[in-house]
Every structure is written in C-alpha cells, then in structure tokens.
A and B are shown apart, each in its own frame.
Chain A
C-alpha cells in the first residue's frame, strides 16, 4: 500500500488521470477463461507472407544490423512513396516528405506532438481507436469527439464536424475505414470534410491503416489528394493490417516537408530509427507481397458477408461495413448495455466481443466483432451468439 502511494507521487498529474484502456479490464477477464472464441482481436489471423519473412531473414544474413537513417532506409522510403503515389494518387518526396516509424502508433504520436500546443483542440470521430483521445491529452491538447451514427453508416457527417470547430481547433483526425465500425467515407463526404479543413485552416491527420481492406469496388482514396489538402494533411499508413505484419512494427508518415521535419526531430531524439530488420521486411512486402495481400482481402470479404448476414438473421441489426475487419452490431434490442452484453456472452457462451463503449461513449449500445479469425470459428461463434439471444428472450418471457 505505502509502496504504491510513494510511487504514485512521482507521476505527473496529466498522466495519472489518464484512464487505462477500456479493453484492458475485458482482456484480463478473458484470460481467466479457457475455450473462448475471440472476436476481440484487432489484428490479422494470417501469418506474415512468407516472402516477407524470408526477405527479412536474408537482410540478417547479409549483416544489415545497423542503424538506418533517422528517416528510415531510403530504398524503403522510395518504395513507400511510389506505392502511395500509385495507389492513392499523391506524390511525396522520399528524401524529405516521408518518415518510417514504429507502427502507425508512433507516427500518430509524432503527428500529435508535432502540431499540438497546450490547449489546442483536436477533433476526431467517435467511436474510434482507443489511443486518439489519450494521445491528445498526453500532449496537453483537448480531445473533441464528434459522434458518428449507425443511421449514417458511421461516416463522419461534415455538418456535425463543422459544428465542433472553434477558434482553438488545430486539427481533425480521420480514420476511414474505421476501427471499430468498419465505416468508410463517400467521395462526397470526404470532399465536404476537406472544404471544412481548408475553410478553417486546420491540419488533418489521416490514419490509413485499414485502407487496403475495403470491399466496395473502387480504388483507395485519401483526403490528401483533394484540392488544398496536401499541404495540411499528415498521411499515416503502415504494414500491420494489410500485409499482416503487426509484429514487425513498421509504419510511416508522409506529408509536407515542414511537418515531416518536425516529426523527424521528435523521432530522432526519442527513437533514433525504426528497427532495421523490420524495415527490410517492409521493403520486401511492397516488392513481393501484394498478391498475398489481395488474397487476404478476398478472404476477409467472404467472412464479412457471413458475419453480417448471420447477425441480421438472428435479429441484431448490423450494418454492412465496407472496410477494415470489424462489424459493429447494435445490441440495444437485448435491453443490455454493451458491457453487460459482452460480459454475459463471454460467461455463458465463451465468445469474446469488445463492448462498444471501449471506443468512446457513443459506442454504447454496440459491440465490436473482429472477423480476422477463421470462418470456422466465426460460424461457431455466431451459433453461440444466436443461442445466447434465444436464452435471453426466454429469460425475459
């Protein structure tokens, strides 16, 4: 007792008040149980493509075990800039507009730290990835969530966004396809959001980590490609999701030189450079693993179709998300809160889902289910959830 008291005294107040991730409690609970099918895993079930693993090992055999440039391997940055130009239609200079980071996680952290002064407001859409609000607070910024709704397919409504803008607003965070909803933006919504960013002179942090995982037959798009946007957008992307390389921990940031330079300064002092071995793996991914990625995307799409139709059949309304590997069914018809639904389901049927409120208050009434797991497990989990709903109904009657 006295020990933890004396430790706690050293902790800075703005860190002490940060909540632990809402997922944490649930994680601990799941870990006490066996035989659980987890739909709570936000990372691919596929192992990294073999060509990537092999290329990584080859870099070690050649003795490529030293620091790289602070920005990352130039050859990797060139490959990244070509990829972004080809797939997203925005050209960045590998020499000074692209920074290789430790996952999008670090890139996001750098972006927030580079642009936020104490008291600056940063707008983001909710429900959203668990790090956004806390990252902003760690930089003494003010997180400003804007709710998204099932009736809008969880897209960010430009009108709602504009209402949240104040003279202190510094930036907008966009994450589409979205974790946890799987939502995407239409071209028109993206255009309207871009206009707001230009009108109020705001920066945009675009988290593209799920971009390749989209199931509407159209090319990938980014807000950075729209008029007036390149100079104010920090384009964040990485290898974790599309290439199934979460453990490699490689991401990147592209943007105008002034911002990338500022992010580079922080990265240089805090990180020196991203892990060299993993950078070689990432380079190999862009060179040879795109067919693997396409195969995985096709498989995710099949699983999404199964999980969405099963949820709707069993009477939990579930909109058909066009991206990422999450569905976000509405559980309000059960009369349970997200948290109670998830805990009861886990305890009675051993299926783990993540309560929607872990992703912000307006995720209440929903649960996040990841379909980055085998079809067989998805089907078993859906059978168990259907049983659970039946039992709830008889309980109530």
Chain B
C-alpha cells in the first residue's frame, strides 16, 4: 500500500479506533482485504500497540483520582533508569511512566479510587523503593483535553445551510 494510504489509515485509527477496514477501504478506494492486511501489518510491527476507549471520568458515577508524580531516582551503574522504571511500571496504579529531561527523572501518572489510595501508594510503595530519592505529587483537578480530544468542546456547526 502507498505511504500516504498507510498514513491515512493510521491517522483515522488514532482519531477513532473503531473505524472499520470496510469504512477505510471506501475512503481509500481500496479493497477491504487490502486495508485489513495493512492494519494487521501495523499491529505486527508494533506500530499500533492497542486500541483504547477515551473515558471522561467526570461523567462517571464514581470518579477515580489521578495524579502526576515527579520522581527523582538514583540511576544504576548498569542499566541506568530502565530497571527501576520497569519495576515501577508493574504497579497497576501506574497508568503511564516516562523518563524526563530536566529537574526530575521519571514522571508517573497514577490512578486510584480516591485520594487516600493514591497517597498510600506514594508513601508505602513508591517512596520506600530503593533508589527513589524524592517524589512530588500533583493531583489532577480537571481534564480539558486528552489524546488530542477536547473534552469540554461541544460540536456545533454555525454554517449557513446553503452556500453557493
């Protein structure tokens, strides 16, 4: 498949993971099998790593709590930050983890049922791990945009109905 078509498929799936191969085939003027094969290839090459629902927790009955935690760690002589990062990733509370440049080393996104759960994760798990030098916890108060989607935006089309 052409490079642009592959890019088109990827863009479409990033925007809406539920876009079907049949829909994409129609948009590209290709066959459904060709598109399905291309998507399978993107998955096989680990370019597409998963498909997720984008959830606006504000509209949920029980609202989980999220925090961004800055962590400074002591890198190891061999392996640098990778071993400790892997260890931290294993905690189910950790939903994202990045190595950062700047004033701290690792950034964790942590999720819990309430404030207490996150606080106790930090004090009894995270801070006690050998190699963790300091932590700074920032609770998320409100989500405006995630994964490129404006969560507060209402769809509106104020165009005139007929325009020459």
Q: Which of A288-318 contact B (CB under 8 A)?
A: 295, 298, 302-303, 305-306, 309-310
Cβ-defined partner of A354 (8 Å) among B4, B27, B29, B162: B162
B162 touches A43 (CB 8 A): no
Contact for B4 among A21, A43, A298, A303, CB less than 8 A: A298
CA distance A130 to B11 in the complex (A): 36
1/0 per residue, CB under 8 A from B, across A270-303: the answer is 0000000000000000000000000100100011
Which of A21, A45, A129, A306 is the one whose CB lies under 8 Å from B26?
A: A306
A38 at the interface (CB under 8 A from B): yes
Closest chain B residue, CB of each to CB of A130:
B164
Contact at A41–B27, with CB atoms within 8 Å? no
The number of A-B residue pairs with CB atoms under 8 Å apart is 55
B154 CB to closest chain A CB, in angstroms?
13
Question: Which residue among B11, B160, B164 has the maximum number of chain A CB atoms within 10 Å of its CB?
Answer: B164
Q: Judging by beta carbons under 8 Å apart, are A41 and B163 in contact? A: yes
Q: In this assembly, does A49 line the interface, its C-beta being within 8 Å of a C-beta of chain B?
A: no
Taking CB atoms, residues of chain A closer than 8 Å to B157 are 45
A38 pairs with B27, CB closer than 8 A: no
Known: A41-B159, A45-B157, A45-B159. A302 touches B27 (CB 8 A): yes
- Supposing A298-B4, A303-B27, A306-B26 touch, asked if A38 and B162 sit within 8 A by C-beta, the answer is yes
Q: Let me know if A27 and B162 touch, CB within 8 A.
A: yes
Of the candidates A30, A302, A358, the one having the most CB atoms from chain B within 10 angstroms of its own CB is A302
Is the CB of A31 closer than 8 A to any CB of chain B? yes
Minimum Cβ distance to chain A for residue B163 (Å): 4
- A129 to B164, Cβ gap below 8 A? yes
Chain A interface residue count, CB cutoff 8 Å, equals 29
Indicate whether B127 reaches chain A with its CB closer than 8 angstroms.
no
> A23 at interface (Cβ–Cβ under 8 A)?
yes
CB of A202 within 8 A of chain B?
A: no
Instruction: For the complex, count residues of B whose C-beta is within 8 A of A.
Output: 16
Contact A30 B26 (CB under 8 A): no
* Residues in A neighbouring B160, C-beta threshold 8 A: 27, 41
Q: Provide the residues of chain A in CB contact with B11, threshold 8 Å.
A: 295, 298
Are B28 and A302 in touch, CB under 8 angstroms?
yes
CA distance A310 to B29 in the complex (A): 11
Residues in B with CB closer than 8 Å to A31 are 161
Report the minimum CB–CB distance from B44 to chain A (whole Å).
24
Identify the interface centre among B11, B12, B161: most chain A CB within 10 Å of its CB.
Answer: B161
Contact of A40 among B26, B28, B29, B161 (CB under 8 A): B161
Are the C-beta atoms of B27 and A352 separated by less than 8 Å? no
A111 to B97, CA, bound (A): 60
A:21-41 near B, CB below 8 Å: 21, 23, 26-27, 30-31, 36, 38, 40-41
Q: Is B8 an interface residue (CB 8 A)?
A: yes
List residues of chain B with CB within 8 A of the CB of A309: 26, 29
Q: Are A352 and B162 in contact (CB under 8 A)?
A: yes
With an 8 A cutoff between CB atoms, is A89 at the interface? Answer: no
What residues of A have a CB within 8 angstroms of the CB of B159 in the complex? 41, 43, 45
Decide if B162 touches A30 in the complex (CB within 8 Å).
yes
Task: Give chain A residues whose Cβ lies under 8 Å from the Cβ of B4.
Answer: 298
Chain A residues closer than 8 Å to B28, beta-carbon distance: 302, 305
Taking each of B23, B161, B162, which has the highest tally of chain A beta carbons within 10 Å of its own beta carbon?
B162
- Smallest Cβ-Cβ distance to B4: which chain A residue: A298
Quick check: B27 and A26 within 8 Å, CB to CB? no
Contacts beyond the supplied A43-B159, A302-B27: 17 A-B pairs with Cβ under 8 Å:
A23-B164, A30-B161, A36-B161, A38-B161, A38-B162, A40-B161, A40-B162, A40-B163, A42-B164, A45-B159, A130-B164, A298-B4, A302-B8, A302-B28, A305-B27, A305-B29, A352-B161
The 6 closest A-B pairs by CB, nearest first: A302-B27, A40-B162, A27-B162, A42-B163, A30-B161, A130-B164
Could you jot down 9 A-B contacts, CB within 8 Å? A21-B164, A30-B161, A40-B163, A41-B162, A41-B163, A43-B163, A298-B11, A302-B28, A306-B27
